[in-house]
Structure 1
Amino acid sequence: MNTDTPTLVFPDDISRAATLIQAGECVAIKTETVYGLAADATNERAIAKIFEAKARPASNPLIVHIASAADMAKWAKDIPDIAFELANAFWPGPLSILLKKQYWVLDAVTGGQDTVVLRCPASKDFISLIQASGTGLAAPSANRYKFISPTTAAHVLTSLNGRIAAVVDGGSAEVGIESTIIDVTQDVPTILRPGPIDDVMLERALGRKVRYAANLGITVPGSAKQHYQPDTPVFLLSTEELERRGLRSNEGVISYSQPRLAGHLDDDCHIQLSDNASEYSAQFYAALHQLDKLALSCIYLESTPTSTPWIAINNRIGRVVAG
């Protein structure tokens, strides 16, 4: 891969992006969740470029992004009614549905598994790119494997500049964390990756019980123990531990409450996020990117609440701090 050629950055030029996709290139583009690294999901060489650019294990499957629920049958078979119920309730949006794959779907996309994960994103640019490209688009987060997910075009360039063809700069992603992944191939719909759409929302839409997977038993995007991590070491502390600790000027803090921090912490090193779970999630990765640029000795995260609205962000935090 030629890393000497800088990645192109251009705003909202979907025709140009589609031309690159059709030529077998990878293009980073904003979804409502994070920036995705899009490539033609039917082109094995294009898919290989995703894995090469990200240095991502080939066994790790990719989500295929489609324009509407009508496209599900192209990619999946034996689709249960519940999948269409979910699509009707949450698509376009941050919900990815795991289904049995059609025989022709590339093993490179599914990680060699007999299932495929599909999503219809709530991003006009991304939907336009799918339609202009004339195919489903595989699109993991547009960052090197296990690094902080990108919510701006600048974040993409932090780790992928020169490794991908282009970035379509669409501003900041609104949701800020990756989609919920739900498995509907089982008797009880099972959340494999927590995300913006939680079990309460799913149960309300379906009128039936939904569970969280206790033991995945299947590899899905975002299931690695260590994930979403900056280069700077990150540690999780309770509010009380943060307040007792004497902080130094070369240490960073991300908090959600307003802890009384002692010591000599520089103002630039303390990022105060919202105490609302969805707003915190939208800001979290950007905060990690901001502090990671400061060459700090470490970053401390204040433990967030454990109530249902915080399940998804706590899942991400747990992987950020995993050693």
Structure 2
Amino acid sequence: MAAAHVIPASNPESIRRAAEVIRNGGLVAFPTETVYGLGCNALNPEAVAGVFEAKQRPHFDPLIVHIATRTSLNRLVETISVGDHRLMDAFWPGPLTLVLQKREEVPDIVTAGLPTLAIRMPAHPVARALIREAGVPIAAPSANPFGYVSPTCARHVLDGLGEQVDLILDGGPCPIGVESTIVSMFGTRPEILRPGSITLAEIQKVIGPLGHTTAGQTTVVPGQHPRHYATRTPVTILATQGAAHTIQEHERAGLLALSTPGHVDERFHAVEVLSASGDLREAARNLFAALRRLDALGLDHLYVVPCEDQGLGLAIMDRLRRCAAPLAPLPRLTTSPASIHITSNSSEQ
């Protein structure tokens, strides 16, 4: 298969062309305010299966469905609580994903057989224009091989999935740079299942205290695997912001820092600073691109200076910890993907 065509998202004809690909069951990579998504018609099981195949994504990992208007919810979800409405009023369109009870019309492959659906309304004008023009909800995980660093520009998509995608809409760099915050309204209290640019404090201002996320074998939303957003180069996160780092003799190492470090060992082969001023929003916007640049250098090791686990820093450190996690066995499907029954298998590598 030839590499995907990359076309400018600013051209209305590009949007029409991409929407036609979606309606016909194809795959389109497109920009959102968070990262680039690999989109398909969420109501077409064969098209959704194509997303899993292109990414080599396990079928137990559910997808997020993107909509352009709140009226689309009537077709996709059963009930919407008062808390859901408050969050939508406050943060939609924007980088917030809500986990709601799905309707039967949503194919099980989208939700990994779960009764819940992760759904959001993106703020990026290209994403919303594409959804409106296509006339269908669009299921879209990040447009990269499963588990690798997420893409924040069209070049990243082309490098990782160029031969697996029918079309790439180039809308420039993503303005936020980390995936959406995911909130579940099920249970006794709402929970943040994945941190993002909308912070815990911002959500609590709208709906009050949140519960604590509990770990389980079933993947409820994307980005929950212990190792994710990962580089090919091994990563070590230093203990504290001021921790000393030791480079092994003859080791070709890189350093990733939130802000300009006071002292850098001259033996580092490369240094990436996410924000000279230490601004967390700038750091998040640059995170994945910086990791990709370091990973492309063929280094022996990457060292990361951590930031505080507060506000947007919580989302940044979530991605970095998963990037640095050791390889772990994935859950194993015991039946066909259609039934999505999962068990763990600690012996698989």
User: If the length of structure 2 is used for normalisation, what is the TM-score?
Assistant: 0.87
Structure 2 Cα separation of the partners of residues 251 and 75 of structure 1: 48
- SS of the residue corresponding to residue 122 of structure 2 reads coil
Aligned length: 317
Q: CA deviation at 1:186?
A: 2.3
- SS of the residue corresponding to residue 262 of structure 1 reads coil
Amino acid at match of 1:282: R
Is contact 2:247-2:253 (8 Å) kept?
A: no
Aligned to 2:282: 279
Q: Calculate percent identity across the aligned residue pairs.
A: 36
Report whether the alignment pairs 1:92 with 2:93.
yes
Structure 1 Cα separation of the partners of residues 169 and 106 of structure 2: 27
Structure 2 Cα separation of the partners of residues 116 and 185 of structure 1: 12
- Name which of structure 1's ranges 224-233 and 239-248 shifts more when overlaid on structure 2: 239-248
- SS of the residue corresponding to residue 100 of structure 2 reads strand
Structure 2 Cα separation of the partners of residues 164 and 242 of structure 1: 43
Structure 2 unaligned residues grouped into runs of 5+? 327-349
Aligned to 1:256: 258
> What pairs up with 1:211-222 in 2 under 5 angstroms?
211-215=211-215, 218-219=218-219, 220-222=221-223
C-alpha RMSD of the superposition: 1.6
Structure 1 unaligned residues grouped into runs of 5+? none
Give a deviation string over 1:22-79, Cα, whole Å, max 9, x none: 1111110000000000100011111011000000001110000001222212111022
Amino acid at match of 2:57: R
Q: CA deviation at 1:247?
A: 8.1
Aligned to 2:198: 197
> What pairs up with 1:307-318 in 2 under 5 angstroms?
307-318=310-321
Q: CA deviation at 1:217?
A: 6.1
Structure 2 Cα separation of the partners of residues 158 and 186 of structure 1: 41
Q: CA deviation at 1:231?
A: 1.4
Aligned to 2:210: 210
Structure 2 Cα separation of the partners of residues 308 and 119 of structure 1: 21
> What pairs up with 1:68-217 in 2 under 5 angstroms?
68-206=69-207, 208-215=208-215
Report whether the alignment pairs 1:6 with 2:9.
no
Structure 1 Cα separation of the partners of residues 307 and 142 of structure 2: 24
- Name which of structure 1's ranges 300-309 and 224-233 shifts more when overlaid on structure 2: 300-309
Q: CA deviation at 1:230?
A: 1.4
Structure 2 Cα separation of the partners of residues 98 and 197 of structure 1: 15
Aligned to 1:290: 293
> What pairs up with 1:224-263 in 2 under 5 angstroms?
224-238=225-239, 239-243=241-245, 245=247, 250-257=252-259, 258-263=261-266
Report whether the alignment pairs 1:54 with 2:51.
no
Structure 2 Cα separation of the partners of residues 129 and 242 of structure 1: 48
Is contact 2:32-2:123 (8 Å) kept?
A: yes
From the superposition, tell whether residues 284 and 248 of structure 1 become closer, same or farther in structure 2 (CA, over 3 Å): farther
Structure 2 Cα separation of the partners of residues 141 and 242 of structure 1: 34
Relative to its length, the structure with more helix (as a share) is 1
User: If the length of structure 1 is used for normalisation, what is the TM-score?
Assistant: 0.94
Q: CA deviation at 1:276?
A: 2.0
Structure 2 Cα separation of the partners of residues 23 and 16 of structure 1: 11
Structure 2 Cα separation of the partners of residues 45 and 189 of structure 1: 33
Structure 2 Cα separation of the partners of residues 193 and 318 of structure 1: 13
- SS of the residue corresponding to residue 24 of structure 1 reads coil
Give a deviation string over 1:245-274, Cα, whole Å, max 9, x none: 4786721111123141224224xx101112
Structure 2 Cα separation of the partners of residues 234 and 276 of structure 1: 23
From the superposition, tell whether residues 226 and 244 of structure 1 become closer, same or farther in structure 2 (CA, over 3 Å): closer
